[in-house]
Structure 1
Amino acid sequence: MDTTTHNDGLDGHLTALRTAMDEVDAPRCVEKELMAAFARQHTRRRWYQRIPRAAWAGAGSLAALAVVAVLALGLSAPQSGGPQLVQRDERGYFIALDSLERIEGEPNPRMIETEVPRMELASLGVPVSPEDAGESVLAEMLVSADGEPLALRLTATH
């Protein structure tokens, strides 16, 4: 089979096709309109817009949970590394009004019986119910030799 004659016939057809394609031309605005339509369908988004909303919701939930955990741990932890200033034993609540070192180092403390309003106890860290807030409680107060209160023991609390 002779390939040269076969290629000559094909070359003529390809030349005719090229000539016909040169005459076919799209209108001037078609490319511009196609690019505008593509831009409308596929808008450019910033990096934070590419992250799915579910991921943002999950991150927000984790951040809120972390804040709640920090607050819960911070409120339940004692304020100092030493002993707690409010303790409960079989005789009632003991509230240190001054440092424990000062209380132990006081040479001549005295005990005085008194009544303390329950509203004042709430500011010292003792749980007080709203129903009993207006009542008073019997207490023993440890007082230094110069009359400064050092500690308070509540004897009649629920």
Structure 2
Amino acid sequence: MQTDKTRDPGLTAPLSALRDGMASLNTPRGVHKELMAAFASHHRKRRWYQTLSPAQWGVAGSLGGIAAVLLVTMLALQAPMPATGDATASIGRDNGAAFIALDSFERIEQDPAPRMVEATVPRTALASLGVPVSPENAGDLVHAEMLVGHDGHPLALRLAVQ
């Protein structure tokens, strides 16, 4: 809201003339409603995905494909992280094969009846353990031996040498 201090005295006369001129212009009743109905009949409401042309959909699809290829390439080129002190402590050696602890050593030692189970594991599931995964071998299955606790919980994993 303007006060007398912020009001520009040079605009008082033109704004007064504009107000007087606009007061004489009145739209008849119902014109707004009729205009909106006519506009709605000529321009049907569309869903958001109908507003894009086929060319725009093609560009969006190709950009999505490019993004997917870049993501897969970045993941394939990412080198496994170097082992830190904590990671090397969780790996033991048994007959030359790496034995990776999936649970704490205390839990493994205290299990009353652990058993060894052979399994085939998807290579993508082993990526978090440092097994290299590329687009060529992502669908491969890896033969592994798992140390399973008495409750069925996996305690350790050893990749089979092939």
Q: TM-score, normalised by structure 2?
A: 0.43
Max radius of gyration: which structure?
1
Higher percent of residues as helix: 1
